[in-house]
Chain A
Amino acid sequence: MESEEDIKMEGQFRELIVRQREMADEWKSAGGKVVGHFCNYVPEEILHAGGVLSIRILGSHGHIARADAHVQTYVCKLIRSSLDMGLVGELDYLDGVIIPYTCDGMRLLFDLWTKNVKQGFVHLLDLPLIVKGDIGRNRFEGAVIQLKKSLEDYLGKSISEEALSISIRVYNENRALLRELYNLRRNVGGMISNIESLEAVLSSLTSPKELHSDLLRRTILERSKSTAHDEAAPGAPMVRLHVSGSLVTDSRYYQIIEDCGGLVVSDDLCTGTRYYWDDVKEDTHPLKAITNRYLDKLPCPCKSPSEERYQFVLDSLRQDDVQGVIFVLERYCDPHLYDYPFLRKKVESMGIPVLQIDAELGLSGVEQLRTRIQAFIEIVRGG
């Protein structure tokens, strides 16, 4: 049984999510800037070093009010709903946005944003496609330097190497804690709920890092203590699942999985491992080290080559003793949708069953999804 203390802790990441706007306002009243961005390839350390609170824009689950007049409905909901948030003024508190060239839709979002939302610092992070080899590396480095320079111009101050080094440590710490949490949920089944583990990452994307790390540290400590004298939960063991996709922002997916007896033990999501898997080296020139980290990080399907990504997924399945894989595929998300059939085949050839869920950020048709996940988990159990 969960103690009251656990429940309280459990709510805390969610509270950070709920208080996101409030925290941003506090940051601003303390004299800082707040900049939104769209992707794991944005080197947040540089923002942090400039005293900027970085907010990962994750779109919204709601109705689209104004974006449909600017962009067709056959682009992903992240792009459509984020543009909508910009157009209706929901993001007016931001001092700017950084939009990376990752997929085609994102690149065009930059143009639409510049033309229609235009607020403060709007920066295109013009990333190369290829992250291996000197030519790609140099271009990537150029884009990072350019970002730093534009930001400095905007802030009217330079970002020192020292500040960068400090930010690198702050970010590394947060990533290390997120990985620790990840390991805990894999190793000690049920110690961290599905939702809590998702909310831990989601809140990290939008909170001041130091504050977030503090909460992570306390949570980990708390949980390690309570499991030490708590034996395994009674009842049927949870089915161990891996979730694959771009981003999961609606925790109800994870709730339903858990209600049906599934435990998400690993993932390859932008709102998951792809965000925190890799650290920045602390013993070299900071800007170089940052560049290298983003170049060598666990790649997303917008980057070429993609073998490393496949390998990561397959390795996670082996190491984590995964019994089933749920692909949460964002509609109209080309990069993921092209990779999916091949990856699926690979997973199935390991004898692991696969469920495909079509998503548009927010979950619709809760009951239908529950039925499908229920059936899937039964198959996995039976298999």
Chain B
Amino acid sequence: MDKIKPRQSKRALETSYEAAQILRAYWSDIHSAKEMGKPIAWASGVVPTELLYAFDILPAYPENYGAVCASKDLALPLCQMAMSKGFSTDLCSYALINFGDIFWEGPGKPEMPFGGLPAPPDLLITTRIPCLVQIKWWEVIRERYNCPMIVLDAPMTDGQATKEQIDYVADQLKQVIVQLQDFTHSRFNEARFLKALTLSDQAGACWHEITDLRGAVPCPVGSREMCGNVFPLVAQLGTQIPVDFYRKLRAELERKVAAKTGAIPVERFRLMFDNIPLWYNLELLSYVEQFGAIFVFETYLRYVWGGRINMSDPYRGYAEKLMSDVWLNMSLEQRIKTLIRDVRKYKIDGVVFHSNRSCKRFSLGQYELKEALEQELGIPSLIIEADHSNPGGYSESQTKLRIDAFLELLEERRRC
């Protein structure tokens, strides 16, 4: 396959440079908050972050921090430490990284990025919306630090939650508010909460528009860069920060799209990536670009955080947002429908499925998705076997060979 002149290492979007500043500011804020005795919650993915901000509790994300550790090549020693404490190698590697951190004993602990997770947590909050694993993981953290824990349950949905499902989660959210009042010994400030929801919805709306702008041909920004832009969405929904950041990003994208400036010089193949990226090998996402292919859409970026909130019925709207439109919480049938729709909408030529041994909830069903794509749209796809954070057993060269072959296949199909 012919290589196209390699792209300069610089980012496609100027705004992307601000993501790193936001990240640094977040970490320095959270450490100073901890020093000042402000409550810190260790929060798992898809918890009601907006509620925490409304109560002035800062969330820290062990899951996201696991990704940070993995991207800095620290996953292996941490996972190994966890395994030496009796945790199975088959557990989610985010959890193993965290266990390696919090149960570390003896010398040789790697220097933890950003000064480490602020420990001990004052509060734990978790949910089954993405997986049961988080609940089990948080129970271990609770054993370690013996602090209060809030759990939010939810059923999986067929994309859109039913009235009954919404009521179930909304009732629990009201209970969470009571738990947070008890925890903070302060009264719930509803106006503040509604403000947080509005900000969250604005950020969510903006994020959807950004996703859609990337649907332009040529695509203005690739996957690797966008993986670096997702942090404010993960951790700061309910604050002004993601709203400002994503508005700026959107404006820049709009200019690029109007000018038809693509992220790569010649865009020949548009790809979709399914599942969590390989944090220790993000380069894989941009690797394809030298061959004129670009990842323009990711289930992970679009369907985990940042949904819209029906503000005319805020509690139920919030409940609905938390559990709907989340890939991990969608039934297989809904995933198939959504995939088919998006492949059409974003003009995708091929899909790369990351079969991620760490995340069953994301990965199970991929074989069915692959088949449905082939049958309904005739779109080819590739399954690569890896893990989102633990590089053990992953072969970069093998994977690249398979991607090469996949691109060849796309090329051939285009020729006929």
Q: Are A136 and B139 in contact, CB atoms less than 8 angstroms apart?
A: no
Q: Are B140 and A129 in contact, CB atoms less than 8 angstroms apart?
A: no
Stretch at the interface among B84-92, B209-217, B235-243, B400-408: B84-92
Cα distance A105–B175 in the bound complex, in angstroms: 28
Q: Are A338 and B368 in contact, CB atoms less than 8 angstroms apart?
A: no
Q: Does A14 contact B (CB under 8 A)?
A: no
Q: Does B361 contact A (CB under 8 A)?
A: yes
Q: Are B87 and A71 in contact, CB atoms less than 8 angstroms apart?
A: no
Stretch at the interface among B17-25, B128-136, B289-297: B128-136
Q: Which residues of B lie under 8 Å from residue A339 when comparing CB positions?
A: 136, 139
Stretch at the interface among B106-114, B164-172, B249-257, B340-348: B164-172
Contact A129/B360 with A101-B156, A337-B91, A342-B143 known, Cβ cut-off 8 Å? no
Q: Does B332 contact A (CB under 8 A)?
A: yes
Q: Are A72 and B136 in contact, CB atoms less than 8 angstroms apart?
A: no
B141 to chain A, nearest CB (A): 11
B206 to chain A, nearest CB (A): 31
Interface string of B280-317 (1 = CB under 8 A from A): 00000000000000000000000000000000000000
Q: Are B133 and A334 in contact, CB atoms less than 8 angstroms apart?
A: yes
Q: Can you name the residue of chain B whose Cβ is closest to the Cβ of A102?
A: B132
Contact A108/B91 with A129-B151, A302-B132 known, Cβ cut-off 8 Å? no
Q: Which residues of B lie under 8 Å from residue A356 when comparing CB positions?
A: 86
Q: Are B360 and A70 in contact, CB atoms less than 8 angstroms apart?
A: no
Contact A103/B132 with A74-B357, A129-B153, A331-B90 known, Cβ cut-off 8 Å? yes
Contact A111/B140 with A302-B132, A338-B91 known, Cβ cut-off 8 Å? no
Q: Does A316 contact B (CB under 8 A)?
A: no
Size category of the binding interface on chain B: 35 or more
Interface string of B151-194 (1 = CB under 8 A from A): 10101100000001000100110010000000000000000000
Cα distance A341–B91 in the bound complex, in angstroms: 12
Q: Does B4 contact A (CB under 8 A)?
A: no
Contact A72/B155 with A338-B91, A338-B137 known, Cβ cut-off 8 Å? no
Q: Are B90 and A115 in contact, CB atoms less than 8 angstroms apart?
A: no
Q: Are A135 and B172 in contact, CB atoms less than 8 angstroms apart?
A: yes
Cα distance A20–B91 in the bound complex, in angstroms: 35
CB < 8 Å neighbour of A136 from B132, B153, B332:
B153
Q: Are B361 and A130 in contact, CB atoms less than 8 angstroms apart?
A: no
CB < 8 Å neighbour of A334 from B132, B172, B175, B364:
B132
Q: Which residues of A lie under 8 Å from residue B171 when comparing CB positions?
A: 135
Contact A304/B91 with A108-B332, A129-B128 known, Cβ cut-off 8 Å? no
A113-134 interface with B by 8 A CB criterion: 114-116, 126, 128-130, 133
Q: Total interface residues on A, using CB and 8 Å?
A: 44
Q: Does B32 contact A (CB under 8 A)?
A: no
Q: Which residues of B lie under 8 Å from residue A338 when comparing CB positions?
A: 87, 91, 95, 133, 136-137, 139-140
CB < 8 Å neighbour of A115 from B133, B151, B332:
B332
Q: Which residues of A lie under 8 Å from residue B146 when comparing CB positions?
A: none
Q: Which residues of A lie under 8 Å from residue B56 when comparing CB positions?
A: none
Q: Are B360 and A104 in contact, CB atoms less than 8 angstroms apart?
A: yes
Q: Does A107 contact B (CB under 8 A)?
A: yes
Q: Are B139 and A71 in contact, CB atoms less than 8 angstroms apart?
A: no
Interface string of A55-76 (1 = CB under 8 A from B): 0000000000000011110110
Cα distance A293–B164 in the bound complex, in angstroms: 24
CB < 8 Å neighbour of A111 from B137, B333, B363:
B333
Cα distance A342–B85 in the bound complex, in angstroms: 9
Cα distance A104–B88 in the bound complex, in angstroms: 17
Q: Are A129 and B364 in contact, CB atoms less than 8 angstroms apart?
A: no
Q: Are A304 and B90 in contact, CB atoms less than 8 angstroms apart?
A: no
Interface string of B7-46 (1 = CB under 8 A from A): 0000000000000000000000000000000000000000
B358 to chain A, nearest CB (A): 9
Q: Are A112 and B128 in contact, CB atoms less than 8 angstroms apart?
A: no
Q: Which residues of B lie under 8 Å from residue A135 when comparing CB positions?
A: 168, 171-172, 175
Q: Does A362 contact B (CB under 8 A)?
A: no
B324 to chain A, nearest CB (A): 16
Q: Are B85 and A334 in contact, CB atoms less than 8 angstroms apart?
A: no
B364-401 interface with A by 8 A CB criterion: 364-368
Q: Does A329 contact B (CB under 8 A)?
A: yes
Q: Are A332 and B132 in contact, CB atoms less than 8 angstroms apart?
A: no
Interface centre among A69, A71, A136 (most CB of B within 10 A): A71
Q: 12 extra interchain contacts, Cβ-Cβ under 8 A, other than A104-B360, A135-B168, A338-B140?
A: A101-B155, A105-B364, A108-B332, A108-B360, A111-B332, A115-B368, A133-B175, A136-B153, A302-B132, A331-B90, A332-B90, A356-B86
Q: Which positions in A face B, CB cutoff 8 Å?
A: 69-72, 74-75, 101, 103-105, 107-108, 111-112, 114-116, 126, 128-130, 133, 135-136, 139, 142, 301-302, 304, 306, 329, 331-332, 334-335, 337-342, 344-345, 356
